[in-house]
Structure 1
Amino acid sequence: MERNEPSRKRLFIGLLCGTGLCVCAVLALVWIIPYIGLANIHPLAPWVLGAVFAVAILVVLWATVGLAASVALGRAMFGSDRLRGVMAKVFLPLMTIFARLFGISKSRVRASFIKVNNEMVAARTGCYTPAQVLVLLPHCLQSSQCLRRLTYDINNCKRCGQCPVDGLLALSEAYGVHIAIATGGTIARRIVVQKRPRLIVAVACERDLSSGIQDTYPIPVYGVLNDRPNGPCLDTQVALPHLESALRLFLVQGEARQPVFGKMKLLAPYAASSSALGGRR
């Protein structure tokens, strides 16, 4: 997992710069095409429109260079929160289209986006109290054989240890953070509105994490990938030591607490598989 991190950053920077340049080229083209016709309306009309598009091009270049610098240097830059929103709302959809031209899959684009987003969010280390943090989980972490309904109240779990929910509840109790299970985007948004967190630590697959980061902006979301030994959406797992390390990273005085699943270093602000890190079973 560690050796894949630089390639993800290079992929993201490459797609980001390529997308930014394409947007600038389109804006320039849109200006050039009506240039001749606008002169017939008013002599200054082409220059007024040109000034508008020039400002738009400068804004796109600022966002592109700012994001690329933040990613390359691995630290937050001035206006990084706003840049994170531009990345999620504007660049990610455009980058997905741009990547398709080169045969790059959506999953690779999403994985690189989550990795970069996590690095930008991780700049806020030690900034949150437990009451400000929400751990949001997918329903597929619950055993498919379990008959208990956990969507509306995760505490209905009987804690038999047959799925990761037992360990997740132990983390919630140890650190005092809110924890909830969502079956989809609509319920997830409702939980966010009810809890009003300042930080979300979300466990999901690449697709759901990417859409969740977009939907909940400006609330920062730190994504942890689930492990899918049985395929998507069925009896998935999560690396509990990694999730605990993420909580300790953000919580005020998190290091003063005794680790529940063992302290481990985050090699990068990105999720590793539970099969590699282990977990409570």
Structure 2
Amino acid sequence: MTSKLPQTPPRKRLFVALMGVTCFLIVGIIYLFWWVPTTGLANIHPDLPRLAGVIFAALSGVALFGTLLLVLTTAFGKDIFFTRFMRGVVIKFLLPVIEFIGTIFGIAKDTIRQSFVAMNNSLVTSQHLKVRPDRILILLPHCLQLFDCEIKVTGDINKCIRCGRCDIKGLAELAQKYNIDISVATGGTLARKVIIERKPKLVVAVACERDLTSGIKDCYPLPVIGVLNDRPFGPCFNTKVDVEKIEEALRLVLP
């Protein structure tokens, strides 16, 4: 049974919509936390309900303002305010809540993750980062190499003989063209080890929805641009990737 990504590229609007729903739910919960105790607070002091209202209104304003900033940053592709901090809020706090709310509405987690990756990419590129080639790392999953290939390129992509049977050839040539470090990892543990050792300022990562989402969370605050792979033969087996998408991501960040 094959598993393929949708033909249309993942869109960030789904994640933005779910983020808006999450924001209103948070505001509703904040309101409830204010409304429930007000009947008792007045008995302690007549000004306490008013004070509690101001505090909860401020919290609601922060939630609404943060959501508005993220929407505007995503819509206009410009770093308006606190983009790096807001990206952390989305990654660390909003994403788990949004995934939970999405499943309530019957939206598959992978669909939400696709949208999250697209939004993360938008937030990273909105900062208009310019990174030297020697501070960029292209990180690839081992499943891009053909399963029956006798030459394993994990850890050293230069072992590839450039036969052209898989996308490793094009990726190795791309890294050579721009003089950018490139590595193939067998899993999240090795990927983190490579990042710690090479200390890049930006990572362009190829993976499936789950691994990309996990990697972006683990790497924060290190900026990561994610590119989803294609899985014509199912997950983790002879996967493919559009090399042009990776080159396009590189052009956005190279000086």
Cα 1:148–1:52 shift into 2, 3 Å: farther
Aligned residue number for residue 16 of structure 2: 13
Aligned residue number for residue 240 of structure 2: 237
Q: Are 1:34 and 2:37 counterparts?
A: yes
Amino acid at match of 2:136: V
Aligned residue number for residue 251 of structure 1: 254
2:231 to 208, 228, 231: 228
1:157 to 155, 160, 163: 160
Aligned residue number for residue 196 of structure 2: 193
- 8 Å Cα contact 1:151-1:181 kept in structure 2: yes
Q: Are 1:206 and 2:209 counterparts?
A: yes
Aligned residue number for residue 178 of structure 2: 175
Cα 1:32–1:240 shift into 2, 3 Å: same
- 8 Å Cα contact 1:16-1:68 kept in structure 2: no
Aligned residue number for residue 70 of structure 1: 73
- 8 Å Cα contact 1:125-1:251 kept in structure 2: no
Q: TM-score, normalised by structure 1?
A: 0.80
1:23 to 19, 23, 26: 26
How many angstroms apart in 2 are the aligned matches of 1:171 and 1:124?
A: 24
Q: Number of paired residues?
A: 251
In the TM superposition, residue 11 of structure 1 has moved relative to its aligned partner by: 2.1
Structure 2: runs of 5 or more not aligned: none
Amino acid at match of 1:240: V
Deviates more, 1:127-136 or 1:29-38: 29-38
Q: TM-score, normalised by structure 2?
A: 0.87
Structure 1: runs of 5 or more not aligned: 253-281
- 8 Å Cα contact 2:77-2:125 kept in structure 1: no
In the TM superposition, residue 194 of structure 1 has moved relative to its aligned partner by: 1.3
Identity over aligned pairs, percent? 45
- Larger RCO, structures 1/2 (Cα 8 Å, 6+ apart): 2
Matched residue of 1:34: which SS? Answer: helix
